[in-house]
Amino acid sequence: MTDSGFRLKGSVVTTILLEIQTFSLDDIVFHLKEKIDQVPHFFNQAPIIIDISKMKRGITIDEFDVLIQSVSALGLGVIGWRCDPEALPVWKALVKIPLLPASKARAITTSTAEKEEASPDVVVKTVVEERLVPQTTKVITKPIRSGQQVYAEGDLIILNQVSAGAEVLADGNIHVYGALRGRALAGVKGDVEARIFCRSMEAELVSIAGNFMLSDALRNIVWKDSAQVLLVDDSLEIVPL
């Protein structure tokens, strides 16, 4: 990526944090749209917080208003903003969205097929809130067809296949006793111990606690074979079974 002076932090279940270091509207919108286009379901109608705490120069109220409008036009909902409490802008009272305190969420990096050469000002991370996860189990016996979405508050066990275009999500683990061809997101509320198990790895996307990997990367590790997905030191690992 080029130096656009911002950080983008996102989550599948919580909020996206847009951390701006150098204001360049075109670059911010370009890289934000690029990330949304990569996994649109992750960011569809997602809430977003704009953080100007680390800006290298000030930002005017007009620039801030245009930024909010541009981000909203991408289908994201701006729910608040953050700023260094020691350097609050003089126009803070004119902003209609609420000023939020610093987040205590945990930041984790995104897995890709190859590590990208990115400038220090452009880093893509995922923000996951740490929560207690209820351990209930949902068992599905029928195939999950394209366009369907299944969610479990605890573990999710599927005794059939997950078709391409389908999505399965669980606060806990996901077990697929068939081909996993769609998207599987485990630990969606921050359970870093969650895992994904499948009999045939053909997924479009797999995710543990917000860390995700796309099919292009999976093909280079294990494909059409049994596998498990786990999180080790904030990085996804795909292990053949």
- Structure confidence by residue, pLDDT tens digits, 64-104: 999 899 988 888 888 888 888 888 888 888 888 888 776 54
Average pLDDT, the chain: 79
Same domain, 153 and 51: no
Are residues 50 and 28 both part of a single domain? yes
On whether residue 1 sits in a domain, the answer given is: no
Q: How large is the average pLDDT for residues 183-204? A: 92
> Is 50 exceeded by the pLDDT of residue 11?
no
pLDDT of 167 reads: 92
pLDDT band with cut points at 50, 70 and 90 for residue 39: low
Q: What is the DSSP letter of 159?
A: S
pLDDT at 28 over 60: yes
If asked whether residues 158 and 100 sit together in one domain, one would say: no
pLDDT at 182: 94
**Using 50, 70 and 90 to split pLDDT, how confident is the model at 183?**
very high
Q: What is the pLDDT of residue 99?
A: 83
Kindly report, residue by residue over 105-159, the tens digit of the pLDDT: 444 333 333 334 444 443 344 454 444 444 578 999 999 999 899 988 889 999 9
Residues 76 and 174 occupy one common structural domain: no
Using the 3D structure, point to which of 128, 146, 163 is the last residue of a domain: 128
CATH number at residue 113: 3.30.70.260
What sign does the CA torsion over 178, 179, 185, 191 have?
positive
Residue 126 has a pLDDT of 43
Bridge partners (DSSP) of residue 109 are 125
Q: 80 lies in a domain? A: yes
- Residue at which a domain ends, from 128, 150, 165: 128
Residues 113 and 12 in one domain: yes
d(CA 58, CA 83): 11
Q: What helix, strand, coil percent values describe the chain, rounded to 5?
A: 15, 35, 45
- Catalogue the long-range contacts made by 95-98 (C-beta closer than 8 Å, 24 or more residues apart): 95/61, 95/64, 97/68
Residues 147 and 97 both lie in one domain: no
Residues 6+ apart with CB under 8 A from 131: 189, 190
State how many domains the chain has.
2
Q: Which of 67, 93, 128 is the last residue of a domain?
A: 128
pLDDT at res. 40: 67
pLDDT at 186: 93
Question: What pTM did the predictor assign?
Answer: 0.51
What's the token pair of residue 117?
Answer: 């050469």
The pLDDT of residue 169 is: 92
Give me the half-sphere count of Cα atoms (radius 13 Å) on the Cβ side of residue 62. Answer: 0
In terms of pLDDT, which residue wins out, 6 or 37? Answer: 37
